[in-house]
Amino acid sequence: MPLVAHTDLPTFERLREEGEEIIDPKRASHQEIREIHIGLLNMMPDAALEATERQFFRLVGACNQIAQFHVHPFTIEGLPRSAETQAHIDKYYEPFSKIKEDGLDALIISGANVTGSYLPDEDFWEPLTEVFSWAKENVTSILCSCLATHAIIHYCYGVARTRLPEKRWGVFSHTLVDRTHPLVVEINTRFDVPHSRFNEIFQSDMEKHGLRVLVASAEAGVHLATSEDGFRIVFFQGHPEYDDISLLKEYKREVLRFYRDEISDYPPYPKHYFNAELKAIFHSYTQKIKLAKAQGAALPEFPEHLVRPYLDNTWRDTAKAVFNNWLGKIYQITHQDRRIPFMDGIDPKNPLGISLR
């Protein structure tokens, strides 16, 4: 069922232009359909803030449950913002105080870009853990993405992320580790997921602390895991929400950093993302960039228009299926009329009634 455009957030209009079904509040008020309220704690940097909105809104809107989905974006202190981005947040995002007052059925916490090695030293650490502590007691399920996964596992289990020898960057093949868990029923047993990170929490450390690993890659590590109970906290290390061009945009930013002498080495290709045709195009472009840099010439135009037709999205259908399973369980658990998670005899430590390891 569709997303409800309950505010003037520009993301709703962008999704309409893409062909997504978005309904206005007046039409929604005449439908006898249950509301599901989902918070999106968006911690992404300015350049990716609105794209992250669209990506997660799109996955929620693809759910086939008979419900109206209201997504409530908000953010926290401790994240550097430009004046323009702060104006967007002030106009369209909700304060956390209102989120707490109104309540949520579910919460998504995005990743973030940080330069420090120790997450508790980051300015956003205390605001993030405040949101998480509230959500753990008041929200049915919390879905953490990438850095949020690392932060919450550190906060809950004391497991610090490990710096990788090189950036884990590209599109990697994954397999189901647990084929019976409700989050992964009726999805492909092997599928792709994009990754983009410098750090990792390893499968052995997750399992040592009772986390349930559901999806992993021999090359990229764990993608999907859950808390001990199987549902209260969902952890992504990959980025199933990414668009087909997301890694291309990241590659473009890295090329620009090289041209500006912000990094010394020309960036490698994201693994398993560019086919032979794209590599040929970018090989030629690499020579132009290096020559322009050496001669102090203008930056050559990035060949995005040439490469976009060759980009494939090999992960979105599976991402939609996992989100549908997640939201479907939330729909089952939450009370018909009130957004209070654990009622009517539901065990908060095992809300799905599933067999725990």
Active site residues: 146, 239, 241
Q: Are 159 and 205 in contact (CB under 8 A)?
A: yes
Torsion sign (Cα): 216, 192, 308, 243: negative
Torsion sign (Cα): 252, 144, 332, 24: negative
Q: Are 117 and 163 in contact (CB under 8 A)?
A: yes
Pairwise CA distance, residues 307 & 86, whole Å: 33
Pairwise CA distance, residues 356 & 36, whole Å: 27
